[in-house]
Structure 1
Amino acid sequence: MTESWLVATEDAVRVAREHAREVDAEARFPSEAMEALRRTGLLGLLVPVAHGGRGGGLEDMVEIVGRLADGCLSTALIWAMHCLQVDALVRHGGPELRDQLLPRIAKEGHLLASVTIEAVKGGHLLRSAPGHHCPPHGGRHPVLRRRQYPHHRPPSRRVPPDPGLPYQWIERP
């Protein structure tokens, strides 16, 4: 782990530790710690340098997640899951998808998550269940699906897609 990663990690751990008791007591998202990870560029740890990231590897992720867990287990879990999604994108995403998303993760600090972790989904990628929070899309829980598979069209109201991305939001009624 480089010196700059160590400084970034310690900053994120400090913020995570500061809010861990409140995050656990209120069972809420650790937004302060995630913002620290975004600000320090650690959301882009596994993004290759060529795409604007830090170019770290899984060994670096393991070292950092252990330190984050000392501050806040929720933060460590969310960040580790994000990193695994980024790693899957780096290793298995098509060139166009990598070129479009990886710089946004590295520079804008987008957080990736897997819809397959929802408790009631059972891994069904085109179905989603609302959580305990109200998402920004008119109070409906959005589903992200690949545009290139038009035969998977669940009944829904489609949100105008971002022409720059191969994904689109679908609002479930």
Structure 2
Amino acid sequence: MTTTTTTTTTIYVATSPVTYPSLPLPAREPSPPRYDRPEAIYARYKASREAWYATLPPRSRRNDKAYRKAKGLPARYPKASVEYALDWKRMGRQCDLGIGKGKRDWIQEEINAYLDFEKTEEEHVNLEEQIRLEEGYYQGRNGIQDCINDSVLYGQVRQAYFDNWNPYM
């Protein structure tokens, strides 16, 4: 007499026979470029120049050279400054036109606008640093993390400032 035991395991998978298409994701609006990106800097430069042009009487010279002279900006920058601006950590050698559109070289006006911005930002930072040193801001501060937090806050404040910037005011 032989006894045989058989065990059967059945796995039931519950799925709906009808599948529903997933809803399309809403289109994300592109975020505005950071305030310190060359494209944003040049756009503000052009807007400021156009606002200046609007204040001029008819038939007056309306070119970049006249604008730079009126604003007290240098007509040219040294070659070393231009090379600094075209460094990969700054502007980069070429302007990216977007996905599938390629790249192009920066024009001199864009490079000048970037260097103007860098100069004014450097002056702004130096002034803020001088004020902090005079006020004794760094006494009792807790190391590098406080400096990092200050830098992050500074970046957020500058971004908010340039997001609300209006050249026509």
Category of TM-score, reference length = shorter chain = under 0.3
TM-score by length of 1: 0.24
**Structure with bigger RCO (C-alpha 8 Å, 6+ apart):** 2
Structure showing greater radius of gyration is 2
